[in-house]
Amino acid sequence: MFNEFHHQVRGRGHESDGTPGQDRTAYLSRGGVQALCLADGAGSALRSQVGAQVVVQEGCAMLVELFTQLDTGDDAAEARRVIRARLHARLESVARRWGCAVDELASTFLAVAVSGGRFVVVHIGDGVVGYVRNGEPRVVSGPDNSEFANQTTFVTSAQAASSTRLFRGASDGVTGFILMSDGASASLFDQRSGTLAPACAKLMETVAAAPSRRAKRPEHEKRLRRVVDTRLRLATKDDCSIAILARRP
192, with CB counted inside 10 A (0-12, 13-18, 19+), is exposed
Q: How large a percentage of the chain has pLDDT more than 90? A: 85
pTM score: 0.94
Distance CA 220, CA 217 (A): 9
Residue 148, pLDDT score: 42
- Check: CB of residue 10 under 8 Å from CB of residue 236: no
pLDDT band at residue 247 using 50, 70 and 90 as cut-offs: very high
- Check: CB of residue 140 under 8 Å from CB of residue 176: no
Q: What is the pLDDT of residues 137-195, one digit of tens each?
A: 999 999 886 444 557 899 999 999 999 999 999 999 999 999 999 999 999 999 899 99
Q: What is the pLDDT of residues 105-153, one digit of tens each?
A: 999 999 999 999 999 999 999 999 999 999 999 999 998 864 445 578 9
